[in-house]
Amino acid sequence: MVTAQPEAVELAAWREELTAVLDSPQFRHAPSLGQLLSYLCEKRFSGDTSQVKEYSIGVEVFHRGEDFDQEADSIVRVGVNRLRKRLAEYYAAEGASHRIQITIPVGQYVPVFRALEESVPKLSAPPAAAAPRTVQRGLWWGSGALALLILVAVALWFGHERPQTAPSPGAAAAPVTSADMLVGLPPGDEVRILAGSARSLVDHAGKLWSADTDFSGGTAVRNEARRIARTQETAFYRTSRTGQFRYDIPLKPGVYELRLHFAEAVYGAENSGVGGEGSRLMTVRANGKALLEHFDVFADAGGGQIADVRVFPDLKPAADGRLHLEFAGEAGGEATVSAIEILPGLPGRMRPVRLLARQTPYYSNDSQWWSPDDYFEGGQLATYAEPVGGTDDPEMYETERWGNFSYAIPAPPGRYAVVLHFAARHRGWDQPPGGEAQPVEHVFNVFCNGRAILINFDLAREAQHGDVVVRRVAGVTPNAQGKILLSFVPVRGYATVTGIEVVAQ
């Protein structure tokens, strides 16, 4: 992208402001942040922002080599977020009266030079103290009318976009910066369809799922199960489309990642039907190419009423601009699907998965979007008011899943890095009210697809130099069911984890 070069007068004012910022104590004592700010501003001054990318910043500013892996190394994201914070501190104090202020919008790296009068929008002018009473009333009615119009517009928008049913408890509004704006992830349209549903839904991550659409054939079926394992989104699996059917979904040109959501609602001991493995087999094709053959939801998930997600990267729409998905039952049976998710994809690999053990999404200080807890079974969630040390983002570590639990994270064939985030605490859920703080013992093993990756992991001992502990395991491959199965097994006390990342290598 090439940005228009500023006019000479404007450019002089911008350079003057940059000089003032760099001469301030906040930046004189942080030369690395000053160097980063200078680099970004010089690119903006020249009007050429094509090099303001994470890779080029990592190589040219942070002196990473040509093999710099921006997915595994977050130095650029961390540095830019620290720069944002330092600029905010500067303009809240010494630079508060400056006519021009420098900001770096979240999700971007190109600086914005904003005049002070633009920084605070003026909704309406207050009435003058000496104004006649009739003028004051006119201003009040004008403001009231404007507010009423805004409320009506908002109501109409929400009436169109929000689901007809209430969101699940704990559901959060979409964050200001969505997953589409994440550094390293491609922007584009996202498609989320609840198969068999007549109503839309907002999930715990604030994402809107539409009612069933773009299908032909099959029958809408309702599942009355109260609980579906390995998900917070039980409502996803309350309906499904079953039989012989297809979806023809319009998409813009590009590369996409397909996620299919299943849950066996008929067969199994917990359900009204009989049978189990082998009771339902099906084939799924995308644009005529088989994605799944002889697919058994029950066997793949390990039982009935268990959420089962399969991921397929590197898909493109057909020549007619649609993704054609065919679901066909085998041996006289019926196919089924609960939800379809299509996201802008990364060529040849899966989008990164980042989970935090909480019920709402989170946008971390290193410009990464973390989804709410998902794919888990067992354990409990805990939230702590006391912040942890050893991190510039303590809010990220204020929750955890503890107990004896596992995660089955879907992933297509390939090699992945798994990153586990832990937080050690001196005050825990088991401390009696008013009692003396006791160390919480967490000694546990972690297995990945049955292979031990952490043995007798003593969180308190590992956290001697800071409360936060991060462990990375490379070269992980999914199992035959397309899952990275992480099992957290207590040895003494309980196992625990705050966040999990799965990134394609």
pLDDT digits (tens, 9 = 90+) for 113-145: 988 754 444 333 333 333 333 333 333 333 444
Q: What are the structure tokens assigned to 288, written together?
A: 């005529």
Task: Specify the 3-state DSSP secondary structure of 498.
Answer: coil
- How confident is the model at residue 390, as a pLDDT? 85
- How confident is the model at residue 379, as a pLDDT? 97
> Distance between CA 294 and CA 278 in Å, rounded?
9
R_g (Cα) of the chain, nearest Å: 26
Q: pTM of the full predicted structure?
A: 0.67
* Strand (E) or helix (H) holding 473: strand 468-476
Question: What residue type is assigned to position 86 of the chain?
Answer: R
Chain centroid to CA 313:
17
Extract long-range pairs of 1-10: CB within 8 Å, 24+ residues apart. 1/49, 1/50, 2/47, 2/48, 2/49, 2/50, 3/44, 3/47, 3/48, 3/49, 3/110, 4/47, 5/45, 5/46, 5/47, 6/45, 6/47, 6/113, 10/113
Task: Specify the 3-state DSSP secondary structure of 321.
Answer: coil
The single residue listed with the structure tokens 């899952």 is 483
With a pLDDT cut of 70, the percent of the chain lying above it is 80
> Distance between CA 261 and CA 300 in Å, rounded?
12
Read off the DSSP letter of residue 238: G
Tens digit of pLDDT for each residue in 229-288? 999 999 889 999 999 999 999 999 999 999 999 999 998 766 655 678 999 999 999 999
Extract long-range pairs of 49-52: CB within 8 Å, 24+ residues apart. 49/1, 49/2, 49/3, 49/110, 50/1, 50/2, 52/109, 52/110
Domains 179-344 and 353-504 share a fold: yes
- How confident is the model at residue 251, as a pLDDT? 96
List beta partners, residue 329: 282
The single residue listed with the structure tokens 């004008």 is 142
> Distance between CA 187 and CA 202 in Å, rounded?
21
* Crossing angle of the two packed helices 31-46 and 75-92, in degrees rounded to 10: 90
Read off the DSSP letter of residue 252: -
- How confident is the model at residue 290, as a pLDDT? 98
Q: For residue 174, name the pLDDT band (cuts at 50, 70, 90).
A: very low
User: What is the overall mean pLDDT for the chain?
Assistant: 82
Residues in CB range of 46: below 8 A, 6 or more apart: 5
Go through the chain and tell me how many residues it has.
505
Is the per-residue pLDDT at 110 higher than 70? Answer: yes
- How confident is the model at residue 49, as a pLDDT? 76
Domain boundaries, the chain: 8-119, 179-344, 353-504
Q: For residue 156, name the pLDDT band (cuts at 50, 70, 90).
A: very low
Lowest mean pLDDT among 58-62, 135-139, 285-289, 424-428: 135-139
> Distance between CA 142 and CA 151 in Å, rounded?
14
User: Taking CA 298 as the corner, what is the angle to CA 296 and CA 301, rounded to the nearest 5 degrees?
Assistant: 105
User: Taking CA 45 as the corner, what is the angle to CA 44 and CA 48, rounded to the nearest 5 degrees?
Assistant: 55
Q: 78 to each of 36, 74, 321, 424, how far by Cα in Å?
A: 12, 6, 39, 22
Nearest to 497 by CA among 414, 420, 428, 391: 420
Q: What are the structure tokens assigned to 127, written together?
A: 């009435």
Helix, strand, coil content of the chain in percent (nearest 5): 25, 35, 45
Q: What are the structure tokens assigned to 235, written together?
A: 């409502």
Beta strands in 181-298 (DSSP E): 191-194, 201-202, 208-209, 215-222, 239-250, 256-262, 282-286, 289-295
Q: For residue 72, name the pLDDT band (cuts at 50, 70, 90).
A: low
- How confident is the model at residue 294, as a pLDDT? 97
For domain 179-344, say whether CATH 2.60.120.430 is its number. Answer: yes
* pLDDT: which is higher, 164 or 249: 249
Mean pLDDT of 455-471: 91
> Distance between CA 307 and CA 341 in Å, rounded?
14
User: Taking CA 112 as the corner, what is the angle to CA 109 and CA 117, rounded to the nearest 5 degrees?
Assistant: 155
Is 247:325 a contact under the CB 8 Å cutoff? yes
For domain 353-504, say whether CATH 2.60.120 is its number. Answer: yes
Q: What is the largest CA-CA distance in the chain?
A: 86
What are the residue ranges of helices labelled H in 122-238? 133-161
User: Taking CA 227 as the corner, what is the angle to CA 401 and CA 363, rounded to the nearest 5 degrees?
Assistant: 40
The single residue listed with the structure tokens 């009210």 is 433
Is the per-residue pLDDT at 91 higher than 80? Answer: yes
Is the per-residue pLDDT at 106 higher than 90? Answer: no
Tens digit of pLDDT for each residue in 282-325? 999 999 999 999 999 999 999 999 999 999 999 999 999 999 99
Residues in CB range of 418: below 8 A, 6 or more apart: 448, 453, 472, 473, 476, 484, 486, 500, 501, 502
